[in-house]
Chains A and B, each alone.
Chain A
Amino acid sequence: MESLIGLWNDSGLAQFTGPGQISMILIGLGLLYLAINKNFEPLLLVPIGFGGILANIPGAGLAYSAVENALLSGGPEVLSAMAKALNLAAYETYADIKAALPNASAEQLFAANQVAANAGYDSGMLYKFYSVAIGSTIAPLVIFMGVGAMTDFGPLLANPKTMFLGAAAQFGIFATVLGAVGLSAMGIMDFTIADAAAIGIIGGADGPTAIYVSSLLAPELLGAIAVAAYSYMALVPMIQPPIMKALTTEEERKITMTQLRPVSKREKIAFPVIVLIAVALFLPSAAPLLGMFCFGNLMKECGVVDRLSDTAQNALINVTTIFLGLSVGSKLAADKFLDPKTLGILALGIVAFGIGTAMGVVMAKIMNKFSEQKINPLIGSAGVSAVPMAARVSNKVGLEANPQNFLLMHAMGPNVAGVIGSAVAAGVMISMVQSMGG
Chain B
Amino acid sequence: MQQDIMSQGVDLMLFGMGTVFVFLTVLVIATTIMSSFVQRFLPEAPAPEPTAAPAAAAPTGVTDPKLLAIIKAAVDQHRAKHK
Question: What is A's interface to B at a CB cutoff of 8 Å?
Answer: 156-157, 160-161, 163-164, 166-167, 170-171, 173-175, 177-178, 180-182, 184-185, 187, 192-193, 196-197, 262-267, 270-271, 274-275, 277-278, 282-283, 417, 420-421, 424-425, 428-429, 432-433, 436, 438
Q: Is the CB of B9 within 8 A of A193?
A: yes
Q: Is the CB of B6 within 8 A of A181?
A: yes
Task: Tell yes or no: B75 within 8 A of A by CB.
Answer: no
Sorted from nearest, which 7 A-B pairs have the closest CB atoms?
Answer: A181-B9, A174-B13, A167-B24, A160-B31, A185-B2, A428-B19, A428-B16
Q: Is the CB of B35 within 8 A of A157?
A: yes
Q: How far is the CA of A390 from the CA of B57 in the complex (A)?
A: 42
Task: Tell yes or no: B20 within 8 A of A by CB.
Answer: yes
Q: Is the CB of B31 within 8 A of A421?
A: no
Q: How far is the CA of A354 from the CA of B74 in the complex (A)?
A: 72
Q: How far is the CA of A275 from the CA of B11 in the complex (A)?
A: 26
A425 contact set on B, CB distance < 8 A: 16, 19-20
Q: How far is the CA of A432 from the CA of B16 in the complex (A)?
A: 9
Question: What is B's interface to A at a CB cutoff of 8 Å?
Answer: 2-3, 5-6, 8-13, 15-17, 19-28, 30-32, 34-35, 38-39, 42-44, 46
User: Contact check: which of B6, B20, B23, B35 meets A278 at CB < 8 Å?
Assistant: B23
Q: Is the CB of A274 within 8 A of B31?
A: yes
Q: How far is the CA of A157 from the CA of B42 in the complex (A)?
A: 16
A436 shortest CB reach to chain B, Å: 6
B19 contact set on A, CB distance < 8 A: 283, 424-425, 428
Q: Is the CB of B20 within 8 A of A424?
A: yes
Q: Is the CB of B17 within 8 A of A424?
A: no
Known: A266-B38, A270-B34. A177 touches B27 (CB 8 A): no
B13 contact set on A, CB distance < 8 A: 174-175, 177-178
Q: How far is the CA of A60 from the CA of B61 in the complex (A)?
A: 68
A167, A178, A262: most-surrounded residue (chain B CB, <10 A): A167
A282 contact set on B, CB distance < 8 A: 22-23, 26
Q: Is the CB of A275 within 8 A of B27?
A: yes
Q: How far is the CA of A263 from the CA of B44 in the complex (A)?
A: 10
B10, B13, B46: most-surrounded residue (chain A CB, <10 A): B13
Known: A175-B13, A282-B26, A429-B12. A271 touches B34 (CB 8 A): yes
Q: How far is the CA of A196 from the CA of B10 in the complex (A)?
A: 12
Q: How far is the CA of A270 from the CA of B32 in the complex (A)?
A: 12
Q: How far is the CA of A184 from the CA of B1 in the complex (A)?
A: 10
13 contacts between A and B (CB under 8 A): A156-B31, A164-B24, A167-B24, A170-B17, A177-B9, A182-B9, A184-B2, A184-B5, A185-B2, A267-B35, A271-B31, A421-B24, A425-B16
User: Contact check: which of B9, B31, B38 meets A264 at CB < 8 Å?
Assistant: B38
B61 shortest CB reach to chain A, Å: 29
Q: Is the CB of A274 within 8 A of B34?
A: yes
Q: How far is the CA of A274 from the CA of B30 in the complex (A)?
A: 7
B68 shortest CB reach to chain A, Å: 37
Q: Closest A-chain residue to B46, C-beta based? A: A264
User: Contact check: which of B9, B10, B20, B34 meets A428 at CB < 8 Å?
Assistant: B20
Known: A160-B35, A196-B9, A270-B38. A278 touches B16 (CB 8 A): no
A180 contact set on B, CB distance < 8 A: 9
B32 contact set on A, CB distance < 8 A: 160
Q: Is the CB of B12 within 8 A of A197?
A: yes
B2 shortest CB reach to chain A, Å: 5
Q: Is the CB of A163 within 8 A of B28?
A: yes
Q: Is the CB of B38 within 8 A of A174?
A: no
User: Contact check: which of A177, A185, A263 meets B12 at CB < 8 Å?
Assistant: A177
Q: How far is the CA of A214 from the CA of B51 in the complex (A)?
A: 53
Q: Is the CB of A181 within 8 A of B5?
A: yes
User: Contact check: which of A161, A173, A264, A424 meets B43 at CB < 8 Å?
Assistant: A264
User: Contact check: which of A174, A184, A266, A420 meets B24 at CB < 8 Å?
Assistant: A420
A421 contact set on B, CB distance < 8 A: 20, 24
B42 contact set on A, CB distance < 8 A: 266
B22 contact set on A, CB distance < 8 A: 282
Q: How far is the CA of A435 from the CA of B3 in the complex (A)?
A: 18
B17 shortest CB reach to chain A, Å: 5
Q: How far is the CA of A433 from the CA of B13 in the complex (A)?
A: 11
